[in-house]
Chain A
Amino acid sequence: MATGTEPPATEPHPRTGGVRTGTRAAIAAPHLRTDRWWLAPAATAAGLLAFVVYSTWRALANADYYAAPYVSPFYSPCLAENCEPMKAGPNWELFGSWWGISPAVIILIFPLGFRLTCYYYRKAYYRGFWASPPACAVAEPHATYTGETRFPLILQNIHRYFFYAALLVAGVLTYDTVLAFRDENYDWGHMGLGTLVFLVNIALIWAYTISCHSCRHIVGGKLKHFSKHPVRYRMWQWVGRLNARHMQLAWASLVSVAVADLYVYLVATGVFDDPRFF
């Protein structure tokens, strides 16, 4: 009987297509939304694009990334021989003299990979760039869709490895922030506006990293019985509260890392001197 819960015995309609085809209600419009649904994906795309342009320029510039005691987060740790010398700084010459291009490229792959496979950024660029979907209940312009079931998008599943790497990078950036409590002569116990910028940045980087969905899973989400693991349960709850703000933290840390880099650039190019507090 048609109203049973079984699927209809015969499927007269085509097995492909979307809202405008087959047995769906005959409505010609791809969507009927009357609000400004395009605003969010457009803003997201614009914001991400701006960061990509800026960071590409800065990462490939291979210049003006160090103004003692500050090192740009794009270039930290600096792992090639062609790095600018930084006293006690995060430069270890793991890559020899053969590395000719910007040393930022070596290290940026990790934070980039972390953000690229991040569950929030995935949503952001799938919607903003891929239009898959552009917004809820707005038809997407693709004929087929397989999501993250096959290569290359199946690689999104390695997000947790980038998370581990991101922890290391965040550790190095924390070290950089400690070093920022020196002055330009490497004397300890000083603080400038740059130190403050670095402090804010590292706080946001950590908050973003810790609020990661993979992190939430690893600290406790994978457990079946929280009651048997009270400490991990507490950690899971705590990460969960941060995780609820993952999107905000993703944007805030993206901006702060760019600002920290810009600050180093401006000081390094002599646009202004780092104002010292003490």
Chain B
Amino acid sequence: MSVVDRQEWDVVVVGAGGAGLRAAVEARERGARTAVICKSLFGKAHTVMAEGGIAAAMGNVNSGDNWQVHFRDTMRGGKFLNQWRMAELHAREAPQRVWELETWGALFDRTKDGRISQRNFGGHEYPRLAHVGDRTGLELIRTLQQKIVALQQEDFRETGDYESRLKVFQECTVTRVLKDGPRVSGVFGYERETGRFFVLQAPAVVIATGGIGKSFKVTSNSWEYTGDGHALALLAGAPLLNMEFVQFHPTGMVWPPSVKGILVTESVRGDGGVLRNSEGKRFMFDYVPDVFKDKYAESEEEGDRWYDDPDHNRRPPELLPRDEVARAINAEVKAGRGSPHGGVFLDVSTRMPADVITRRLPSMYHQFKELADVDITAEPMEVGPTCHYVMGGIAVDSDTAAARGVPGLFAAGEVAGGMHGSNRLGGNSLSDLLVFGRRAGWHAAEYAGSLADTRPRVDDVQVDTAAAEALRPFSAEGGEPAGGPPENPYTVHQELQQTMNDLVGIIRRAHEMEQALDKLAELRVRARRAGVEGHRQFNPGWHLALDLRNMLLVSECVARAALERTESRGGHTREDHAAMDRAWRNVNLLCALAEPDDALPVTEAVRGQIALTRETTEPVRPDLLALFEKEELVKYLAEEELYE
């Protein structure tokens, strides 16, 4: 048996972004000894990249807002595929979660009367996003980080040890969730700094690892987004839900190449920025889909009036949900009306005075000035779609955030599926993190507490197998019968990104996705032979070689589910099935491991690893359905759903 450091905790949270930290705070406050594991330094999570704000129907700016309106917007944005109970909980609880942040020291921008200011955003009927300039995610992370420190200070006063009840293991990667029979028994991981393995025994594990963007070439996501949590859940036997829905944010930077994909916040449009093509035309007016026709302005004049008088005018179509805008930009570029570097123009310079721009969009100003040498107060930005968010994720129970079929496994945040349906509204992610982060922490603590002395035990064989799996890249060459030099993990990764970008991107076609599945099979074989130089201490090549397993698993889920769903809806657009199909409204696609036995290393790499099943969703509760007009429901729901 390999010698690995073992510790015992009540709840282990994998991931230290908004959801993970919120879960950790909750679990600790409910009395569970809680460990948080993150790949980066504490406080560097990808949540810091969120710019626009936190959607919560507090009604501070427009008192017409309430949770029902927020729920409605969320369901519309997700094209009614949302797990409606999650959308309901989210809309109801978001204001409490935002206010709570203030009691932990967060400083949001204020209204004139001293309350939290709220801004407009795509798909939200009222100004709803609590924000801090355009660095809301940073405020969220820092507040949660400081709350964790506050709790540790409390523990220090009581026990003399800061980390007696809440500890952050930073720069560590989890490679396996360990199980005792069907139940979770802990996690296996390694320290990035030293390469040493460790095991945290715990009856409850909360996965909050975020998304999968690093499987795509053009993405706003950081290196951490390798789908680790998705893969951990899959390997632990939990299914993934609706993985075909990947959000391409309409506005990412397109130039210079090295920053291609970095996000340009939606607040640019919320605050008055407009999209133009190379002919100078505000093309979004041509792309308002039927379901949204009566909600958006038909003329530029009306759209412009809306910023000052939202009650009597309809909003400009630049503020359509993200999937619509991304597709529109894609179409304009394809039609040859794009900008020099293959995007379109996003202009605030002619819409607002320079000082207003630098005050309201400081980090955008900074970002373009520093990275592209573009002064956004004087010239338009060039933007194009970038892979931003995965709506699909671990299938969870709406109320408890418990993953299906694996007792002790919980998931929250981007890694959990269902909440956003087929498309997420801007601002709903940060509120999602808080609402379901808290719920996951709460139920994980409760579950762990309920076990008393019947805790699951860590199986030494699983630990040894996990260790062997993690060490494989160091002996890649010798172990393979095929011979030849080991693969460079960077090359395999680049090919994977190119494949997903080109063949399973914004606009999808059946034959391309089949091609992608073939390519993924080839890459899986090569990834098994990925070898690394050097030793285990802070070795990025090794880390990438291990992450490849996760990216390949998740990519296969995306490709298979996308091939299966023969319609276009939200973040899934099929050229060969261009329309939304009401018959698909209540169909969920679940991905699971094809061979769900506990044979840890998947040996038959060429064969597909993922099995897909269809599932009919539970009908929307009548009182929630009653929030919508009949005429609107007709567009989404199948006949039999309407008259039930």
A touching B, CB within 8 angstroms: yes
Contacts of B193 in A (CB 8 A): 2-3
Contacts of A187 in B (CB 8 A): none
A2 to B5, alpha carbons, bound, how many Å?
A: 12
For A, the interface residue count at a CB cutoff of 8 angstroms equals: 6
Contacts of B191 in A (CB 8 A): 1-3
Closest to A4 in B: B169
Contacts of A5 in B (CB 8 A): 42, 163, 167-168, 170
Chain A's nearest CB lies how many Å from the CB of B366?
Answer: 19
Contacts of A11 in B (CB 8 A): none
B168 touches A4 (CB 8 A): yes
Near A by CB (< 8 A), chain B positions 146-183 give: 162-163, 167-172
B162 touches A3 (CB 8 A): no
Given contacts A2-B196, A5-B168, 6 further A-B contacts (CB under 8 A): A1-B191, A3-B169, A3-B172, A3-B191, A4-B168, A6-B162
SS class, residues of chain A in contact with chain B: loop
Closest to B35 in A: A4
B interface vs A, CB < 8 Å? 5, 42, 162-163, 167-172, 191-194, 196, 198
B192 touches A4 (CB 8 A): no
Chain A's nearest CB lies how many Å from the CB of B578?
Answer: 49
B163 touches A4 (CB 8 A): yes
Chain A's nearest CB lies how many Å from the CB of B10?
Answer: 18
Q: A1-B191, A1-B198 are in contact. Are A6 and B169 (CB under 8 A)?
A: no
B163 touches A3 (CB 8 A): no
Chain A's nearest CB lies how many Å from the CB of B638?
Answer: 52
A5 to B193, alpha carbons, bound, how many Å?
A: 13
Chain B's nearest CB lies how many Å from the CB of A116?
Answer: 37
A4 touches B167 (CB 8 A): yes
A5 to B168, alpha carbons, bound, how many Å?
A: 7
B167 touches A3 (CB 8 A): no
A81 to B103, alpha carbons, bound, how many Å?
A: 66
A1 to B9, alpha carbons, bound, how many Å?
A: 14
Contacts of B170 in A (CB 8 A): 3-5
Contacts of A6 in B (CB 8 A): 162-163
Contacts of A1 in B (CB 8 A): 5, 169, 172, 191, 198
Chain A's nearest CB lies how many Å from the CB of B616?
Answer: 45
Contacts of A4 in B (CB 8 A): 163, 167-170
Contacts of B196 in A (CB 8 A): 2
Chain B's nearest CB lies how many Å from the CB of A8?
Answer: 12
Closest to A227 in B: B114
A sample of 6 inter-chain contacts (CB < 8 A) reads: A1-B198, A3-B170, A3-B172, A5-B42, A6-B162, A6-B163
Chain B's nearest CB lies how many Å from the CB of A5?
Answer: 5
Chain B's nearest CB lies how many Å from the CB of A71?
Answer: 45
Chain B's nearest CB lies how many Å from the CB of A4?
Answer: 6
Chain B's nearest CB lies how many Å from the CB of A194?
Answer: 42
A4 to B172, alpha carbons, bound, how many Å?
A: 9
Closest to A6 in B: B163
- Give the interface centre of A1, A2, A6 by most chain B CB atoms within 10 Å: A1
A128 to B345, alpha carbons, bound, how many Å?
A: 49
Bits for A86-97, please: 1 = Cβ < 8 Å to B, else 0: 000000000000
A8 to B13, alpha carbons, bound, how many Å?
A: 23
Chain A's nearest CB lies how many Å from the CB of B596?
Answer: 32
A6 to B170, alpha carbons, bound, how many Å?
A: 10
A-B pairs, 10 with minimum CB distance: A3-B171, A3-B191, A3-B193, A5-B168, A3-B170, A2-B194, A3-B172, A4-B169, A2-B193, A5-B42
